[in-house]
Structure 1
Amino acid sequence: MRFVLALAAAISFFAPVAQAQTPQTPVSGPCADLAKALGFIEATKKTRFQDGDGACSITQFYVSFGSYIRYRIDEAIVRSPELFTGDVDLKNAVGGFILPTELDISVTGFVLAPETGSALNDYIIETQSEPLDLHLAYRWDRDTGALNLADLGVRTRDGSAITMAAMASDVALTQEHLDKLEALPGGIEQLIFSVEDASFFASLVSPALLGMLPDDGDPRALVASYQKVAVTLIDSLPGDSVSNNSKAALRDFVESFPKPTGDYTVQLRADPPIPFVSLQPSDISELLGLLATTELTVTHTPEE
């Protein structure tokens, strides 16, 4: 269910309670109404709302989910003809919210900007935070449930990127279903997960994974034991679903953890689609059973 959770996380990025960091003249219009309805935005005197044809642009603002979970954003552009045609009451959009059938969100200059209580610490953290660009683009047929996730990605200014694209069927994106992702209807047909510069991926993921290790043992020995188990699992993957070259690429990634390098691409095709509710297998045998119904291709391009 990884791609659905990631999609929901990216979409929820545009949702809680708007605040004003600095008192200012009230702003009206579809763009400002959307910001107020979907929340979390801290506007400043530098913040600008600009309405366009089926689009909305907000510049120089903060996103806050609390003092320590706070970010500064240079610009966010939301494109969705359905949201800006007047058919949706943006001032009251949260209650019973149904996601639009077409949505494109581009966020540039996304940096950490916490309020720790120390102006110096806040300044150091913000200036040392590497700006990221985020992007979400999808189309959803509300009648058939067909979902095309064109892009869900995080990119750096130097070309590193983590991106995902997917095709799914029989998907319902109502608030009721998004509140219960573990029971989300529908299934995944195709998924492409790409990492350009695995060291960037590792910088985001490895600390969290290593932080889950017990602190009373040798972490190197534990990592080595987990790597051995993972390699055994990779070798046991069904040959009809995963080629030897793909297994080799997976082994490269596992054995280089926590410092993988190069580029990786994972492509999955499922016919019939894999139900979302099945994407949380209870054991290895169930996982292998799922993979047996798919075609999994993994490539690794070593760092030059």
Structure 2
Amino acid sequence: MTASLKKSGPADTPPPGPEPEAIKAIPVRHYGRWVAAVVVLALLGLLVNAFASANINYHAIPDFMFDSNVLTGLGKTVLISVLAMALGLVLGVVLAVMRLSKNPVTSAVSWVYIWFFRGTPVYVQLLLWFNLALIFPYINLGPIYRDEMSDFMTPFMAALLGLGLNEAAYMSEIVRSGIQSVDEGQTEAAHALGMSQGRTLRRIVLPQAMRVIVPPTGNEFINMLKTSSLAASACQYLELLRSTSDIGQSTGATVEMLFLAATWYLILTSVFSIGQFYLERHYARGSLRSLPLTPWQKIKANLTSFSNRQSGGVRA
């Protein structure tokens, strides 16, 4: 008997037939989004119309934008903010290390400092520093320095101490959280290599903690720019708000000068926000697979994507 063999394809090959039809995807219509957009635009239009029809001389804002008094106040605002933030940052690091210390005395002193300066308004603290001469007529540091308190506690010094010491309480908690975010194994490995506690903190712990410390520190500095306006009324410090208010009282354009001050504050916060972004991006190296795009890179990527879509549509 002879068996005949038939050639056949794989068993899983489907039989020939018509191709399946393409799925017709129908996008979901989000009517709520359109309604919300219309409501928001309507409210925005009402707000713009209200300010457009108000009795405000908007031409006074660019006229005094670069006035010498305004620029002087602007410079003093930046100066007091930078110096107070530097004082708060340095003292905050010291307080954070004291708070984490195993010494109960230094830890308790740090806790009391933070408790007091965070628990009282910064405006009250500014008033206390400015009026310190009422209870301490003289400042006596022995052979180092001795003078009348009224001569020593100038408006600048009162604003610097009031803002800087208050900021130190908040910065200490930020630094402490950053230090505690670093794995303890890093410290143990450094000690196993013979590194001292201080060197471990400087070389190992703080560089890794910076990616946690930088974002809230940037927010604190931006907040410091705005909080510095309290120094005008509490310490008679001639900063941006005080300068624009004086011009408003002499010219009668009180509200216009407040808008001018708000414009400069927005410019300052925008500039320092950009600096904060690049600083965060710098310390994010090594912790992220890819760094976030810079504003220019985002614009370039969007333009490239738009160009590709346009060229694809023309070819179609």
TM bucket normalised to smaller: under 0.3
TM-score of the superposed pair, with normalisation by structure 1: 0.23
TM-score of the superposed pair, with normalisation by structure 2: 0.23
Identify the structure with the greater strand proportion: 1
Give the structure with higher Rg (CA). 2
| Greater RCO (Cα-Cα under 8 Å, separation 6 or more) | 2
